[in-house]
Every structure is written in C-alpha cells, then in structure tokens.
Amino acid sequence: MASPDLIFKAVNETANKQDLSRYDQNVCLDIHRKLDSKLKEQDLSIAEKSVFARNNFAVMNKWEQVFPAGITECLREYFRERAIWAPKFDPRFPNQNQAKNCFVNYVDYQRCIKLKGQDYKDCEYFKQAAASLCPNQWLEKFDEEIESNAFPVDI
C-alpha cells in the first residue's frame, strides 16, 4: 500500500525553488506525472490506487497544513480525479449503444484469466471495465452461461 512519504518525495523533487503560494499549471503537471510514476513503481492495482487517492482526498485539511496553497490545490485535483476510477473513452465504440463495449471487456477478461491465470495483475483492467460498464444482471447472466458452457463466444 502506498504511504504518504510518496507524496512528500514527489512534491520535493519537482517543486524546488518555485513560488508555491499560487497554483501553477506547469508545476502541477510535473507533480502529477511524478506521483503517477511513483505509484506505478509501487505496482498497485487499480482498486488500491483509487483507495489511496480516496483516503488522501478525505484528509485534505491535513495536507493543507503541510504544503503551501498552490501545492495543496494541485494535490486536491490529483486525488479528486483518481478517487473514483472509470474506464476511458474507447474509440472502438463511439456510438450510443455501449452493449458491445461491456461484452468485449467481459470476454477479454475471461480470455486473459484463461491464458494468464486468475492472479495475473494486468487482467484487472478488463475486469474493472466490465464491472463499470455492464449492469450486474448481465454480469450474472454471463457468469452462469460460462459455468454451463453456453456462452456465445469461445473463450
């Protein structure tokens, strides 16, 4: 699990010798990138990253006492955007009906765990995308069909 030291390191490495009392777009983007790369080094899952952002967003009043106003605003923006994860716009499905988007992500998840095993970390994207897109009733139906070998597509 990521620790608050990560945030201190990211801020100190990027925001040296800058006027930090005001929000500066360029400094803020650097901090975001640094935080992203540090979280990537930690190899956290999507859910763990969201929970890290959510927990830090909840204690923003404490970060306000530690960092100057410009940095606090930047961190608030960072945690706010990442507290809840949603899959990005998929250009393969630009139209209004997203049923195929849901189905394709579910199939990709099943194929991923079949090829790589249940614990393979990178399959998590497909699982989270399917969970975000597909109604629960559809997911239950797909699961039943897979168990009873009646799924319409070869996994």
Whichever of 27 and 53 has its CB closer to another protein, that residue is: 53
Which listed residue (25, 65, 118, 136) binds another protein by CB under 8 A?
136
Contact partners, residue 21, CB within 8 Å, separation at least 6: 68, 69, 70
What are the structure tokens assigned to 64, written together?
A: 């306000």
Which listed residue (4, 9, 36, 50) binds another protein by CB under 8 A?
50
Binding status of residue 54 toward another protein by CB under 8 A: yes
- Measured from the Cβ of residue 66, the count of other Cβ atoms closer than 10 Å reads 13
State phi, psi for 129 to the nearest 5 degrees. Answer: -65, -45
Residues 20-49 that bind another protein (CB under 8 A): 45-47, 49
Rounded CA-CA distance 59/53 in Å is: 10
Rounded CA-CA distance 66/86 in Å is: 30
Span near another protein by CB under 8 A; candidates 15-23, 34-42, 92-100, 104-112: 92-100
Binding status of residue 144 toward another protein by CB under 8 A: no
Read off the DSSP letter of residue 149.
T
- Measured from the Cβ of residue 144, the count of other Cβ atoms closer than 10 Å reads 11
Binding status of residue 66 toward another protein by CB under 8 A: no
Binding status of residue 98 toward another protein by CB under 8 A: yes
Q: Which parts of this chain interact with another protein (CB under 8 A)?
A: 45-47, 49-51, 54, 57-58, 60, 80-81, 83-89, 94, 96-99, 101-102, 128, 131-137
